Chain A
Amino acid sequence: MKLTMRGKNAIAGYLFIAPFVLGFLAFMAYPLYQNIRMAFSTVTVDFANDEFSMVWAGLANIQRALLVDNDFTQYLVAELISMGLLVLPVLIFSLFIAVLLNKTFPGRGFVRAVFFLPVILASGVLVGIETNNSLLSLVSEQIQNANTMRSSVTGVIESILVAEFGAGIGEGFIEYILAVVNQIYTIAMASGIQIVIFLAGLQTINPSIYEASSIEGATGWENFWKITFPMISPMILVVVIYSIVDFMNRTDGEIMEMIDIVVNRWREFGFGSAIAMIYFTVIALVLAIVGFLISRLVYYYD
């Protein structure tokens, strides 16, 4: 029997992606399945005899995570709130920097290299290395307590601003802005890849559109909102999703650390799996909602 062109193509395609298919089944799908099974079981591991066993435990682990454990739900809510507080500033900051870097000026290469440096500096073990050390974490709380608001320059400015304008605009709003300002380093550290994604997007916009609108008398400000922003909106979707995934999966996240402790120190694999399962269900839900909302606002030029 002779194979058709299509058939040959299909076989060749499968041969090319074979490594991924095997890897995905063995190292992603299977652990995922195991994880879900373990979340509903009591797992006991006997390292001496190279054995482990799972006994069906129903919803016990899940109940423990959601109803019994003191920390988990708190961490989860705290994590979601700080994600909400960080993603918007990261989006604005990275778009702002990308627009700046899209102009030509002397030393642009250097500035670009500096802003991309966080991709290296904020990865792997380097994240939160100071808080991870057992000795330092003991004193970090004391240092925090000593560093009360009024002892620093920004603290004083903060208290003046809140006292002067707090009543007018609303204290909560000012507090949020100040919290963002205080976090500027975290924000810069979290926006390396995002800047590059935006930069790539900006470079695909045809310069003649700007030319035409400038001749019609549009200002830079109008150009930004009427041209740049709509044209870059597909990137906004990518950046928001990337930021959420990046934030939720950072290694010094509270839940990540909790999973690490539960699995590596307590050796409670069932409970650890249950936490992980709830956590990634929540992330998936957040991504689905955010993706749905933003994709309705995205404008596709072509």
Chain B
Amino acid sequence: MTKRTYWERNTATDGYLLRRDVSRVLGNIFMVILLFGLCFLVLQPLFHQFSNTIMSRDDLFDPTVLAIPRFPTLDHFRLGLELMDYWQSLWRTLAITFSMSLLQVAACTLVAYGFARFDFPLKRFWFVCVMITILIPPHILRSAMFINFRFFELFGIIPLFTGGSVNLLDTLQGYTLLSVTAMGLRNGLYIFILRQYFRNMPKELEEAAWVDGCGKLRTFIQIMLPDAVPVLMSCFLFAFVWQWTDGFYSSMFLRSFGVMAEQIAGLGDYFAFWYIVSIGAAEGGLSLAPIALVEVMISVGVLLGIAPIIVVYLFAQRYFVESIGQSGIKM
């Protein structure tokens, strides 16, 4: 067969070939524009915040400066680092968040394995309870939670030993208790994902281990866990990132620890206070911080605060996105 040119082939197909290729190219161009626009939509606020934070005071009040500062400065960041007590807070938050996430994922894995692989009475009931913890997050029960932890009695067991209730608010013990009992932030979701994962693993593995005389706990640790490392990693990363920004448990248990979530939320007010005390007083009398500056400082707080988790996200992006895919959520 002789080789025909594109146009010959086009006429042979009655113009179908050209129409197909043109519509394909147009479709691709449309896709590129659309995806670019949508990505820009998500990223623009970050760019905007960043460009604002490196503007000097003159740039901020100059209406001709939009995105690129004329006199870039790192003063706002320096002030932010100081007011947030950044490095101290960073290490403390890293330590607390890391250990709590580890505890939570460990507890969730045990529970999920129990749900996935054993038959026991009331199993459905307890799983409904897991769903309840997903559907009713603790934020709503704020008032009862507050009382519960302020006057912690554990069904009247604790007063038997100490003669009174214990105040668990603003203590690490309270948070640890929640973590080891798989009741931390969104732990119901991790139980759900992990259970789904364990259910899809072949049963033959465990049966072989059982025939060889391996106990249940050992089967779990030596045979099931090594295979589950990627999904465990995903859950750990979710726990880490969400706890990093969480304001609810932070304000309940970690208020005096100065964790990052509290610092991010507080920087605007710290700055306003600092301004009144140092600059306002120097200019004589009470003068409030300009709104534009407060806004910039809030952006500084957000950027500094999320910088560590953005780094984590960039390196471990795969784990975040693929975890839910692996588990195959269905209802």
- CB neighbours of B41 from chain A (8 A): 184-185, 188
B172 at the interface (CB under 8 A from A): no
Which residue of A116, A120, A136 is within 8 Å of B306 (Cβ)?
A120
**A279 at the binding interface (Cβ < 8 Å):** yes
Interface size on A, residues (CB 8 A): 94
A124 touches B43 (CB 8 A): no
Return A276 CB to nearest CB of chain B, in Å: 5
Note all chain B residues with C-beta closer than 8 A to A199. Answer: 321, 325
Question: Contact: B129 with A24, CB < 8 Å?
Answer: yes
Q: Is the CB of A20 within 8 A of B245?
A: no
Q: Which residues of B contact A295 (CB under 8 A)?
A: 331
* Chain A residues whose CB sits within 8 angstroms of the CB of B39 once the complex forms: 110-111, 114-115
A111–B272 Cα distance when bound, in Å, is 38
- Is A134 on the interface with B (CB-CB < 8 A)? yes
Q: Does B64 contact A (CB under 8 A)?
A: no
Q: Report whether A16 and B325 are in contact in the complex, using a CB–CB cutoff of 8 Å.
A: no
Contact residues in A for B143 (Cβ distance below 8 Å): 35, 38, 259, 262-263, 269, 272-273, 276
Interface of B is mostly: helix
Please state if A13 and B264 are interface contacts (CB–CB under 8 Å): no
Least Cβ–Cβ distance between A272 and chain B, in angstroms: 4
Stretch from A4-12, A66-74, A82-90, A153-161 at the B interface: A4-12
- Chain A at the B interface: SS class: helix
A111 to B143, CA, bound (A): 41
Judge whether A20 and B306 touch: CB under 8 Å.
no
Select one of A15, A100, A129, A245 contacting B31, CB under 8 A. A100
Q: Which of A26-34, A171-179, A209-217, A221-229 contacts B (4 or more CB under 8 A)?
A: A26-34
Query: CA separation between A43 and B144, bound complex, in Å?
Result: 11
Q: Considering the chains assembled together, what is the distance between the CA atoms of A199 and B314 in angstroms?
A: 20
Q: Is the CB of B123 within 8 A of A50?
A: no
Q: Is B126 an interface residue (CB 8 A)?
A: yes
Q: Report Cα–Cα, A280/B150, bound state, in Å.
A: 23
Q: Identify 18 residue pairs between A and B in the complex whose beta-carbon atoms are under 8 Å apart, listed by A's number.
A: A23-B178, A24-B126, A24-B183, A29-B129, A31-B138, A31-B145, A34-B147, A45-B150, A100-B34, A113-B317, A115-B42, A116-B317, A120-B241, A125-B265, A129-B268, A133-B269, A193-B324, A273-B143
Residues of A within 8 A of B (CB): 6, 9-17, 19-24, 26-32, 34-35, 38, 43, 45, 50-52, 97, 100, 105, 109-121, 123-126, 129-130, 132-136, 139, 184-185, 188-189, 193, 196-197, 199-200, 203-204, 234-235, 237-238, 241, 245, 249, 251, 256, 259-260, 262-264, 269, 272-273, 276, 279-280, 283-284, 287, 295
